[in-house]
Amino acid sequence: MTRFGYFASLEEFSPTECLEQAVLAEQTGFDSVWVNDHFHPWFDHHSDGTPANGGNCWSWLPAALERTEEIEIGTGVTAILNRYHPANVAHRLATLLELAPDRVFLGIGTGEALNERPLGNPWPDYSERARRTAEAIRIIRALFEAEFVDYDGQFWSLDGANLYTGPDDAPPIHVAGGGSTTARMAGDLGDGFVTVYEDTETVTEELFPAVERGVEKSDRNESPADVEKTVHIHCSYAQTKQQATEPCLPWRLTLLPMVFEQDIADPRYLQAHGDLLGTEALEEAFVITTDPEDLIAVTEEYVDCGFDHIVFQSSSPDQAAFCDVVAEEVMPSFS
């Protein structure tokens, strides 16, 4: 059965609004809530000129878990490069799992400059970021599975590190990316693979085969079916097309490859470049609609492609109306 996730954006909404959305997501039948882990937001201001938000996910997660009862909640996604030591992340996860057993997951990715540069950290090239990500996963798993761990890695070390509180198993770790390297890493080291609105041809011809190659070398996953496959879809639903489009406009910058590849960390600069794009490109990449059938159609496309978990990031002006539409129109079509 297809699982559905809700993305709580601490860049687009305040921490309080995101808490309300998490509660709403559980009440309307979503299986998971994903929350971004960024220092700087992607954009500087909303379409109406009000400032963007920049809440901290690790401060937000305990409150979200406390206000909900069963829904799974985790990061979408965390980059463990320079600003975090993997042991600090493992420590946080272990505490959250003690508070909310079996309800926490970690999404992990190779990151963006906006998380590192503002803190004075270097922005490594992709090869190093991928190697750091793989090493971070190994360290987190080691800390959950063993006691007083010594680790001498390329980027980090442990000297008799021990998690006194928390379960014996790491939470589900979902590796996010849009290329074959991270997909292969997900098959080898992860419990899941996450990608963002990729076209289905790329998914079936490049990404899923890379997951399979990772599984072949894995000592933890026996088949590709062991790796949950999640797609993140940015969408907006409203009564009119203009109402649905307006909140999405600041996100145009995410359609520019340079914002992921280059050493740029100033949301003002990023947004200025995104604003040069027309709405046509946005409407092509996002699901901006007044018709629930469009949400059903994009879900069907990705489910048929082989995804197990559909995560909606909704910029809808009325989040309750969006959740109701997903619960009443979309979910029943895939139960």
Residues annotated as catalytic (active site), given as ranges: 38, 112
SS (H, E, C) 70-124: CCEEEECCEECCCCCCHHHHHHHHHHHHHHCCCCEEEEEECCCHHHHHHHCCCCC
Distances (CA, A) of 191 to 106, 173, 200, 224, 326: 10, 5, 21, 10, 26
Distance CA(313)–CA(174), nearest Å, equals 17
Instruction: Tell me the DSSP string of 286-325.
Output: SEEES-HHHHHHHHHHHHHHT-SEEEEEE--S-HHHHHHH
The one-character DSSP state at 170 is: P
Name the pairing type of β-strands 287-289 and 228-237: parallel
Note whether 249 and 317 are within 8 A (CB): no
Count of CB atoms situated within 10 Å of the CB of 39: 16
What span, in angstroms and rounded, lies between the C-alpha atoms of 51 and 43? Answer: 9
Alpha-helix runs per DSSP H in the chain: 15-27, 57-67, 86-99, 113-116, 126-145, 180-189, 200-202, 208-217, 241-245, 258-261, 267-274, 279-285, 292-305, 319-325
Question: In Å, how far are 83, 124, 319 from 121, measured between CA atoms?
Answer: 7, 9, 36
Using CA of residue 221, residue 197, residue 210, residue 179, what is the dihedral sign? negative
Asked if residue 58 lies in contact with residue 99, where contact means CB atoms within 8 angstroms, the answer is: no
Quick count: other Cβ atoms within 10 Å of Cβ 200? 15
